[in-house]
Amino acid sequence: MTVVEFGRILKGDGRSLYQIVDVREPTELQAASIKGDDIINLPLSQAGEWSVKIVEGDILDANRPTLCLCHVGMRSMKMANFLVQQAGFKEVYNIDGGIQQYSEIVDPSVGAI
């Protein structure tokens, strides 16, 4: 998914239909982040702590569309692949270009990394 499409979802009425997962580290969130209580931070470096919980359905809902975000799109692609291949999620999107491109193209107010 492009950052422009992602921006439309964030600003639209349908935002609540999606789970938004940010896999960046807490220090990265301090530098640049999207506002909202609906952003779920699951740092990829801590996958050992949350991966089983996702597979078992304790974290996230496999039936809801899920948007994965990171700095430029590489870590979020790993998360998207995990959700589809190991956790049985059906509708998962990686945000191409991540928060960096989102801040450059769509919304500079999120900050820069």
pLDDT, the chain, mean: 96
By the 10 Å C-beta count (0-12 exposed, 13-18 middle, 19+ buried), 49 is classed as exposed
**pLDDT digit string, tens, across residues 14-55:** 999 999 999 999 999 999 999 999 999 999 999 999 999 999
Does residue 59 register a pLDDT over 90? yes
Catalytic residue among 70, 80, 87, 95: 70
Does residue 113 register a pLDDT over 90? no
Does residue 92 register a pLDDT over 80? yes
Does residue 56 register a pLDDT over 90? yes
- Angle made by CA atoms 99, 84, 45, in degrees to the nearest 5: 50
Instruction: Please compute the mean of the pLDDT values over residues 57-63 and round it to a whole number.
Output: 96
For position 108, what pLDDT does the model report? Answer: 94
Residue 76 confidence class, pLDDT cut points 50, 70, 90: very high
For position 112, what pLDDT does the model report? Answer: 76
Instruction: Establish whether 70 is a catalytic residue.
Output: yes
CB 87 within 8 A of CB 79: no
Identity of residue 90 = K
pTM of the model: 0.95
CA-CA-CA-CA torsion sign (83, 54, 89, 106) = negative
Give the bridge partners for 24, in sequence order. none
